[in-house]
Chain A
Amino acid sequence: MTVLLLVPPLLLPFAVHGLAGRALDRLHPVAALRALTLTAIVLAGASVSALGALVLTGLLALPLFAPLGELVHPLHTPPNALVLPVAAVATGVLTVSAWTLLRSALRQIRAYRTARRQAESSPAAGDLCVVDSPHPDAYALPGRPHRIVVTTGMLRTLAPAEREVLLAHERAHNAGGHYRYLLAAELAAHCHPGLRRLRDAVQLAAERAADEAAATAVGDRRLTAQAIARAALATRAAPSTRPDFASAATTGPVPQRVAALLATPADRPRSASWIALLLVACAAVSACAAASGVVVFHHEVEVAQGEAQR
């Protein structure tokens, strides 16, 4: 029973990315950003709880650990031949997750600190920090105060009107607090491999939201699309020290953003609310299953401890 309840939280993250793609197509980018991030957090939490419950079940099934749990009766679980391998796998997955999560968190902090130091020592005008480097690059740097970091390589690539698009785009990231969504999705992606694609969807939603805000600010969708395409092509042309892992099999996020800006913004189709509802349902099923799994497991432990009646 317990083990069955723990299956949905572990499998749903693999199923949700199809829904994520549709949410990006149908929902307003800001709504998609919020819905997808929330889904990622809930699914990650549910999957970690499910794995944790499996690990504990396995531990308490071992004669070595049963006394530590103050069990007076044997724990009512499926046969050890099933529980022990499952628990062993769960332990492995949790350990790897915790390790990559920690490593990613440390890397984020380090990158943020370096970026912050860099911004503080660069000439600042308003919220803009210019870094003298031929490599075209630009990013929003959250903090007090928010900053926009742009390299001279990027500034020289863009036409004057396109520079306004870039500034408006990065300001939208900072004003919308997008880094919070990106960070949450990044950490969630380390909790379950199925959530990596959801993280990519969250990143795309954040960029789309900033693109739309920039298009509104400069009042020209086509110009916005052009600025993004030009910046991306310039990045491509510049020699880079970073290894290129980008797979050529799928269309990457930049062409999708440009295409979305060039398309006439249509009225949101009616299916939009269904997509949002399905995402919520996915998250709810996962969370409920994990919660009931943990509650049932807790009850089983109390029974085994002689503190509750079956």
Chain B
Amino acid sequence: MTEAKDERRPAGELEASVMAALWAADGPRTPGQVQADLAVDLARTTVTTTLTRLHDKGVVGRERQGRGYAYYPVEDAPGLTARRMHSELERDADRETVLARFVARLSSDDERVLRELLESGEQ
């Protein structure tokens, strides 16, 4: 068994990574599948504990699958509000807002340069 080096990360960071994996997945995922979806090296029990905690918080739902559960992200009424507000924010958020966005808008030249950079890096 490999030493799980990311075991000591704060619980909040584990929850975030697990939640991100669930949202990125197509359907309900078992703890084993979530473990495989994660880039971080976690023990299955840690993943299960994290999923259970998220379920207790009500941010993920679960359904019986075989002898265990499969988990899926919950989107309920608050989620819908969030989506409405997101479009509101999108309208407002032009380049002048100071929210630090992951990536800025690209020009067509930027796009070409980026593809070139990625290709040159892959060789």
Contact = CB atoms under 8 A, between A and B. Distances in A.
Given A242-B94, A254-B110, A118 B118 contact: no
A262 B123 CA distance: 13
A162 to B, nearest CB: 8
A5 interface: no
Contacts of A295: none
A167 interface: yes
Contact of B82 (A132, A137, A162): A132
Interface string B84-109: 01111111111111111111111111
Interface stretch (A67-75, A233-241, A268-276): A233-241
Given A127-B12, A167-B13, 10 more contacts: A111-B93, A118-B86, A128-B19, A155-B20, A164-B17, A167-B17, A182-B100, A246-B105, A247-B107, A251-B110
B81 to A, nearest CB: 5
Contacts of A210: 100
28 contacts: A104-B96, A107-B96, A110-B92, A118-B86, A118-B89, A121-B81, A123-B75, A125-B15, A126-B19, A127-B16, A129-B82, A131-B83, A132-B75, A137-B90, A138-B103, A158-B24, A160-B37, A160-B39, A164-B39, A170-B102, A226-B121, A231-B102, A232-B103, A232-B106, A236-B106, A236-B111, A255-B113, A258-B118
B76 to A, nearest CB: 8
A123 B100 contact: no
Nearest to A207: B100
B99 A229 contact: no
B21 to A, nearest CB: 7
A96 interface: no
B57 interface: yes
Contacts of B102: 137-139, 154, 166, 169-170, 228, 231
Interface of B: 10-21, 23-24, 37-40, 54, 57, 59-60, 73-75, 78-79, 81-83, 85-111, 113-115, 117-118, 121
Q: Is the interface of A mostly helix, strand, loop or mixed?
A: helix
A163 B104 contact: no
A186 B98 contact: yes
- A-B complex: 6 closest residue pairs judged by Cβ atoms: A126-B12, A125-B19, A128-B16, A161-B39, A126-B15, A126-B16
Interface residues of A, number: 84
Interface of A: 104, 107-108, 110-112, 114-115, 117-118, 121-133, 135, 137-141, 148, 150-152, 154-156, 158-164, 166-167, 169-171, 173, 178-179, 182-183, 186, 203, 206-207, 210, 222, 225-226, 228-229, 231-233, 235-236, 241-242, 244-249, 251-255, 258-259, 262
A206 B99 CA distance: 11
B82 A255 contact: no
Contacts of B60: 123, 125
| Most interface-central of B11, B15, B114 (chain A CB within 10 A) | B114
Nearest to A262: B121
A244 B100 contact: no
A286 B88 CA distance: 41
B117 A138 contact: no
A208 B82 CA distance: 29
Nearest to B115: A233
